Structure 1
Amino acid sequence: MSERDADSDDPGDDAEELAWETTGTEIDYTCPGFDVRRDDVVLPNGTETGFHYVEEPQAVVILPLTPDGEVVLIEEWRQAVGRVNRGLPAGSAEPDDDDLDAVARRELAEETGYEAGSLRQLFTIEPANGLLNSVHHFYLARDCEPTAEQDLDFNESIRVSLAEYDDLLSDVLDGEIRDGRTVTGITRYELADRWQ
């Protein structure tokens, strides 16, 4: 996913004077899940330099609600921070995936064993576009039932749990949950979608 979507966040006519010119690009490092790309660029003032960033596939993040209104969460070991993280299920699209709704349904089932009765895309963000080109698509899944089998990747250590929505919201607001995708998903849902 090295192409950039210049039209999705249009800052107006002045964008051209801020744009960097990319004169070359290559992958410096690759591993399962992401690559580190180096672009050779010319800055607006004429300075030539290199810029590294993490390149990874699009991802889906799911807010799954059971028929009783509980949230299906995952508890997962996160090596980068050295602790178990509690949050929303999420996963990456594969190169041949062209239906993000199907990706959301697949990742929900694989990570939790739950399947959604209905699914609706809520919003899309670039979570850290100064460091990586990742795009996260957030979904609301309703009427989720445990009708599938978990199918975890070899490097996933995940336990499924349920929480009352208001308890999860309190944990997000109190800082008990620090996972950025979960904080973003819950606060955006609360502010813009829950009461519709």
Structure 2
Amino acid sequence: MSPTDPLAWDTLEREVAYSCPGFDVVNESVQLPDGAETDFDYLSEPASVCVLPFTPDGDVVCIDEWRQAVSRVNRGLPVGGTEPDDDDLEAAARRELAEETGHEADHLEPLVTVEPANGIADSVIHCFVAYGCRPTADQQLDHNESIRVTPLAYETLLEAIRNGEIRDGRAVLAVSYYQLFEATEDQP
């Protein structure tokens, strides 16, 4: 069945070229709108969640995490992939918040859903704002996670994004979207 939009590509064949824990590299043979055939490779991974967690005092529960791909400690927000055991996206967000920070939230609200790199990946990130976050347990880190919990004042977080100190795209996106559309005088 051919797509109906004249810009759409037809997928002729699809195979997983490489698979590892967390993602696959997919190779597709495609036909372009002009009839030419070519290959297209992309990264495929499960949907993920990103949490912008506010404490009752209005601080943001940030994390510092080693990121091997850029060879440095990266300041950001709790983020993780969805898992088959998750009842829904909010459950995944609550799980990631607890695992990476040891915090639980009074309530969560959906913020935005984005495809951050849809030219090279099928990644989808569902961002949430978590309110009333309090430490309730120890972190439950995966075997390949090195994370330090670092609460920051919201204004300090904004300034770190403004001056380029925080470069994590998921954190920048969630905070920017929150600041642009959600932040009010009443909220942190």
- Normalised to the residue count of structure 2, the TM-score between the two structures is 0.94
> 3-state DSSP class of the match of 2:40?
strand
Distance 1:86 1:185 in 2: 13
* Misfit runs of 4+, over 6 Å: none
- Percent of residue pairs bearing the same amino acid type: 57
Q: Which 5+ residue runs of structure 2 have no aligned equivalent?
A: none
Aligned to 1:115: 104
Q: 1:74 aligns with which of 35, 55, 63?
A: 63
Distance 1:83 1:27 in 2: 30
1:142 aligns with 2:156: no
Q: CA deviation at 1:187?
A: 0.7
Q: Deviations over 1:132-190 (max 9, x none)?
A: 00000000000000002211011001010110000100110111111100111111100
Q: Deviations over 1:54-110 (max 9, x none)?
A: 000000000000000000011000000000000111100013534000000000000
Amino acid at match of 2:72: R
Aligned positions, number: 183
> 3-state DSSP class of the match of 1:16?
coil
Amino acid at match of 1:19: A
- Normalised to the residue count of structure 1, the TM-score between the two structures is 0.91
Question: What pairs with 1:92-131 in structure 2 (closer than 5 Å)?
Answer: 92-131=81-120
1:182 aligns with 2:171: yes
Q: 1:191 aligns with which of 173, 180, 185?
A: 180
Q: 2:122 aligns with which of 133, 136, 149?
A: 133
RMSD: 1.3
Distance 2:175 2:25 in 1: 30
Aligned to 2:151: 162
1:83 aligns with 2:89: no
Q: 2:21 aligns with which of 32, 37, 42?
A: 32
Q: 2:44 aligns with which of 52, 55, 62?
A: 55
Q: Deviations over 1:16-62 (max 9, x none)?
A: 11000001101000001100001110000111111000000000000
Distance 1:193 1:71 in 2: 15
Distance 2:52 2:61 in 1: 8
Question: Which one is further off, 78-87 or 147-156?
Answer: 147-156
Distance 2:151 2:165 in 1: 16
1:46 aligns with 2:46: no
Distance 2:107 2:183 in 1: 15
> 3-state DSSP class of the match of 1:167?
helix
Distance 2:8 2:96 in 1: 36
> 3-state DSSP class of the match of 1:110?
helix
> 3-state DSSP class of the match of 1:40?
strand
